[in-house]
Amino acid sequence: MTKSNTYDAIVIGSGISGGFAAKELCEAGLRTLVLERGRDVKHVQDYPTAMTDPWDLSHRGRIPLAEITENPIVKRCYAYDEATQHFFVKDKEHPYVQEKPYDWIRGYQVGGKSLIWARQTQRWSDYEFEAPARDGFAVDWAIRYKDIAPWYSKVEKFVGISGNKDGIKSLPDGEFLPPWELNCLEKHIQKSVKESYADRQVIIGRCAHLTKPNAIHLAQGRGQCQARHLCYRGCPYGGYFSSNSSTLPWAAKTGKLTLRPHSVVHSIIYDEQKGKAKGVRVVDSETKEVMEYYAKIIFVNASTLNSNLILLNSKSNRFPNGLGNDNELLGRYVAFHNYRGSGSATYEGFEDQYYSGRRPTTAFMPSFRNVQKQEMDFQRGYMVAFAAAREGWHQDMGTPTFGTEYKAKITQPGQWGVFIMMQGETVPRHENHVRLSPDLKDAWGIPQLVTSIGYEENDVKMIKDFHNQATEMLEKAGCKNVQMSDSHQNPGLDIHEMGGVRMGKDPKTSLLNSFNQLHACKNVFVTDGACMNSVGNQNPSLTFMALTARAVNHAVGEMRRKNL
């Protein structure tokens, strides 16, 4: 153990939760090393396509056929195109074994997927934290809403969340910047839903965009969102939240941050004599050199599946099957969000109205199924998101695509259309798991991950209910040509994977305690999606950051009390 390789804290991963861990640890005065397996990406200067016009892209934004053929997994991601591809892991770069079809979407660079996330942010309520115990699945959460509420507020104030105070008990209000506005057709549907249903409410989506920056955001060097909706290229204005524009520079200002890219974490090193972790073993992604770094506190924030992989590969005499894995549950109960159901419709009217800008969020409807009690033939519920827009002029086959008539037609907005989709909760199940391959290794000598995660009958029932309810709501609002579809997409494409290192009250049935500490190794904390005991139906990133801030506060206190 050398002084140059020793820190107060180590954070594995620089994405949404890792960046927030770094900020909180550095602000507390701890010398903190952040390990990132990918390349460095500096805010503004490393966003090469942020200001690129479509005609300046070689393929006008499309991915060439040869590259699509080579990347059957990542090509399915909604945000993957010619202007964003440099922020995504290509299929051959980090192989894994799909025991069941699973689309693992990854971003290996400083900032991780915080550069390419969809930026939707909603709090959980006690209806989510109490659901496993109430409905008899997974295990009871070790915390409730009151435990995390002040940390939601802390995160929201720093990140910058736009939204309304909607007064919905199952979707608590937060610390909001001014909201985006629903357009005329969305307001019409909102009014129709309110008149037709007592248990449903349409709101504008809450998102991590600076509609009106506060002093704390200006201090970060960030500016107002320009409504360009080119977010996945990296925002040079800092209008949306990312580790690169916010938490990592903030941590660096303290003088306590060391950021090391190209650092693939092999495992966490366990000290058999002291009964705790003492450091992290790293493989340099470029030179393949193996190094070790040491610290009193270790935060695991490598993103859900990689966090599981690291812990499973952290073997010792004390933990032959992975760090903290006394109950053989490490890697089990992985869950995700069900995005398979969607639909579309048209609307006749509002031809004299339009909208401006590219609003970075949609209309949302909080879950209305199984909220207070089990009442359907499936468990849990789903959020609904929808957006209305005026369609562009659609040419028929054989219609000339040049000339005066063509130019005149494409300048006229078409009929109003609506796109609607679900975001459903899946129930964690023992059989949905990840594990290490016994014989296949990656380029850095680390076992490849095996994914064995699939849908259940419960998910199919939920999709059917969404189809029925979405059709009914759109038709009540006067929409025409309502069509519903099931994408049958693989798990993983939602990019909301959670679980495998779940929190709970009992070490026999969980891996982490109420402060995200490993029950069996108290100086290791897991605060990314791997820690989740259930997945709710809300977008998860805000909860990851709130849990992270709370865990850091506890870790720093315990370290100063010499309990770690």
pLDDT tens digit string along 185-216?
999 999 999 999 999 999 999 999 999 999 99
Is the separation of the CB atoms in 181 and 211 below 8 Å? Answer: no
Q: What SS3 class is residue 206? A: coil
**Helix, strand, coil tally for the chain in percent (to 5):** 25, 25, 50
Comparing 173-177, 388-392, 478-482, which segment has the lowest mean pLDDT? 388-392
Rounded CA separation 77/547 (Å): 27
Q: Are 489 and 409 in contact (CB under 8 A)?
A: no
* Lookup: tokens for 424: 């459903």
Beta strand 32-35 pairing with 257-260: parallel
CB half-sphere exposure, 403, CA atoms < 13 A: 5
pLDDT at 433: 98
Q: What is the mean pLDDT of residues 90-100?
A: 97
Return the pLDDT at 467: 98
Task: Give percent of the chain with pLDDT exceeding 70.
Answer: 98
For 27-54, write each residue's pLDDT tens digit: 999 999 999 999 999 999 999 999 999 9
d(CA 292, CA 268): 9
CA neighbours within 13 Å on the CB side: how many for 426?
26
Query: For 446, which DSSP code?
Result: P
**CA 154 to CA 83: how far, in whole Å?**
34
Cα atoms in the 13 Å half-sphere on the side-chain side of 41: 30
Look at the pTM and tell me if it is higher than 0.85. Answer: yes
Q: What is the pLDDT of residue 174?
A: 98
402-406 mean pLDDT: 77
Rounded distance, CA 423 to CA 110, Å? 28
Q: Which residue has the tokens 């390789």?
A: 5
Closest by alpha carbon to 421, among 539, 342, 482? 342
Please, which pLDDT band fits residue 406 given cuts at 50, 70 and 90? confident
Is pLDDT above 60 for 331?
A: yes
| β-strands 6-12, 32-35 pairing | parallel
The pLDDT, as a whole number, for residue 403 is: 79
pLDDT score of 411: 76
Q: What is the pLDDT of residue 409?
A: 73
Three-state SS at 452: strand
Report pLDDT for 1. 60
* Lowest mean pLDDT segment, chosen from 226-240, 294-308, 400-414, 418-432: 400-414
d(CA 490, CA 467) in angstroms, rounded, equals 19
Strand partners, 226: none
- Asked if the model's pLDDT at residue 398 lies above 70, the reply is no
Q: What is the pLDDT of residue 394?
A: 45
Q: What per-residue confidence (pLDDT) applies to 274? A: 96
Helix (H) or strand (E) holding 42: none
pLDDT tens for 351-367 read 999 998 899 999 999 99
pLDDT value at 334 more than 90? yes
Q: Do 455 and 427 touch, CB atoms closer than 8 A?
A: no
In single-letter form, the type of residue at position 25 comes to: L
Residue 323 CA to residue 88 CA, distance in Å, equals 29
Is 293 within 8 Å of 265 (Cβ atoms)?
no
Q: Which tens digit of pLDDT belongs to each residue from 137-156?
A: 999 999 999 999 999 999 99
Higher pLDDT, 167 or 403: 167
What pLDDT sits at residue 414?
87
Mean pLDDT value across the chain: 96
The residues pairing with 266 across neighbouring beta strands, listed in sequence order, are: none
The tens digit of pLDDT for each residue in 113-127 reads: 999 999 999 999 999
Neighbours of 270 (CB within 10 A): 22
395 — pLDDT class (breaks 50, 70, 90): very low
Judge contact between 32 and 23, C-beta under 8 A: no
Angstrom distance (rounded) from CA 528 to CA 557? 20
Rounded CA gap, 522 and 276, in Å? 7
pLDDT at site 513 = 98
Label residue 397 by pLDDT band (50, 70, 90): very low
What are the contacts of 79-88 at 24+ separation with CB within 8 A? 79/116, 79/118, 79/232, 82/57, 82/58, 83/49, 83/52, 83/57, 83/230, 83/232, 83/233, 84/49, 84/116, 84/232, 84/233, 86/48, 86/49, 87/41, 87/115, 87/116, 87/232, 87/234, 88/116
Distance separating alpha carbons of residues 215 and 211, to the nearest angstrom: 13
Helix (H, G, I), strand (E, B) or coil at 188: helix
Q: Which two tokens stand for residue 283?
A: 């493989």
Amino acid at position 501, single letter: V
Per-position DSSP letters for 54-122, written without gaps between them: GGGSTTTTPPPHHHHHH-TTGGGSTT-STTTGGGS--TTTS--EESS--------BTTGGGGT---B--
Q: Percentage of the chain surpassing pLDDT 90?
A: 94
Whether the per-residue pLDDT at 400 is higher than 70: the answer is no
pLDDT digits (tens, 9 = 90+) for 516-534: 999 999 999 999 999 999 9
